[in-house]
Amino acid sequence: MGRAGAGGDATGERSGGALPPADGGGSRGRVEGMLLGLAAGDAAGWPAARHRAARMPEWTRRLTRELDTFAEQNETTTLPVPIALNQPPEPLRLGPSDDAEWAAFTAEAVLASRGALLSDLTRDRRVRAAVDLAWMSLAAEISSAAARAPEVESAVIPLRARISVRAGLGNLATGLRPPATGHDNPHFFDDAACGRACVLAVVHPGDPAAAADLAEYDARYTQDGDGVHGARAMAAAVALALAGGPTEDCVAAALEQLPPGSEIARNAEHAVALARAARAAGGRGPGRAFGLIPLLEHQIIDHVYSYGIAAADTVPVALALVLAGDGAVAEAVPAAACLSRVADSAPALAGALSGALGGARSLPASWRAACRTLAGCALPRLAGLDLVELAGRLTAAEPAVAGREGLGIHGTDA
């Protein structure tokens, strides 16, 4: 099946130790909150268990598919879930999956940009060069695997990824470059770049426009159209949140990045209007984001396409729920996870923004403990990566962050 519309733009270390006290204030606390919030949202969505099941033997997943077929053919309402049977069940326990791992992939590129080989460039250009190197390195793996396979799409490589990412890597492997790799892509419209964009906001805290531009540079490897617009919006919102901006301003910064007349702009404006109306009618207090779920389900979310990962759906949902929940991760993430059609990524996007707004301490300790370590279900080499330590490394040599009173004043690249 194909989704209506076409892209019109051409434009370290591993640790399993005890959880340290969360750094709730300051820039590290917000970066840590962003990463853990994204991971918690990723874990909260029902698809995470299926992603994590990739670490189980193949026969367990085949049996689950057979049980699903049995339920369909026999009209039973008892539906199967990922199973372990006589295998260790650890991969199926609550934890982050693909969204968090691809966010960490981007974070590693940011860290690599500090290397001596790129020291003569501005910070933004160093990151762009490192992003390019990261994508080209993966594409080289695709090329090597393709030499042993009848076609690129069937190449066996040590990673799992969205359709847009696999297509983008395949395009790179055949010699294409951005923006063609994202434009000539069957899933140009999906939100795969949006989680990566949240991480890239760390490079430009307090500067939504610069963060959006950097996010677009990365997004063009795998997306076009609304897929790029969504990445720009999330980067802008998170960049402002990392500098202490209020929730309403962060959402407004995201909306400014969406071209008038685009599907994602129409949906986002409508979804945010619903959230603002809920705030005006209900005052403050828990449950407002939860009350927004039926409205978003019926008025925003697409029920026609076969995948629930369109940026035009997930980004508006995330912005609306964060706004309705006054930026509280404990309000936005559970509400997003209730929207089953977009539960593969909307909770992660809502968690990234609300985590940046509230800092690491805004997440319950139980969730921080469960979601700090990556499983390697999408990028096996990242198994065991500690997101708390990753946040510390990302903020070890970051640029100065504008204070809340001076969010409109930005310095030059470091």
Q: What is the pLDDT of residues 136-168, one digit of tens each?
A: 999 998 788 777 777 656 667 779 999 999 999
Tell which phi-psi region holds residue 6, choosing left (phi > 0), alpha (psi between -120 and 50) or beta. beta
pLDDT at residue 357, as a whole number: 99
Rounded to whole angstroms, the Cα distance separating 291 from 288 reads 5
Whether cis (ω within 30° of 0) applies to the bond prior to 179 is yes
Domains of the chain: 29-74+97-401 (1.10.4080.10)
What confidence score (pLDDT) does residue 11 get? 35
Q: What is the mean pLDDT of residues 361-378?
A: 97
Query: pTM for the whole thing?
Result: 0.89
Separation in Å, CA 35 to CA 20, 70, 101, 154, 302: 15, 39, 10, 32, 28
Place of tokens 């035009």: 312
Q: pLDDT band at 8, cuts 50/70/90?
A: very low
Longest dimension (CA), the chain: 66
Please count the other Cβ atoms lying within 10 Å of the Cβ belonging to residue 400: 11
pLDDT digits (tens, 9 = 90+) for 102-131: 999 999 999 999 875 667 789 999 999 999
- Which whole number is the average pLDDT over 61-86? 94
- Calpha distance 199→221 (Å, rounded): 16
**pLDDT for position 143:** 81
**Residue 302 annotated as binding site:** no
Higher-confidence residue: 253 or 413? 253
For the cut 50, the answer to whether the pLDDT of residue 206 exceeds it is: yes
Per-residue confidence (pLDDT) for residue 384, from 0 to 100: 97
Nearest to 226 by CA among 352, 320, 314, 342: 314
CA atoms within 13 A on the CB side of 234: 40
pLDDT in tens, 286-332: 789 999 999 999 999 999 999 999 999 999 999 999 999 999 999 99
Question: Are the C-beta atoms of 142 and 155 separated by less than 8 Å?
Answer: yes
The count of residues in the chain is 414
pLDDT for residue 23 is more than 90:
no
- pLDDT of residue 180 exceeding 70, the answer is yes
Q: Which two tokens stand for residue 352?
A: 């990234």
% residues pLDDT > 70 (the chain)? 87
Average predicted confidence (pLDDT) for the chain: 89
Q: What is the mean pLDDT of residues 275-283?
A: 89
Q: Beta-carbon neighbour count of residue 123 at 10 Å? A: 21
Mean pLDDT lowest for which of 85-89, 163-167, 182-186, 325-329? Answer: 85-89
Q: Does 344 carry a binding-site annotation?
A: yes
pLDDT of residue 19: 40
- Assess contact for 157 and 379: CB atoms under 8 A: no
- pLDDT value of residue 155: 65
Residue 13 pLDDT = 35
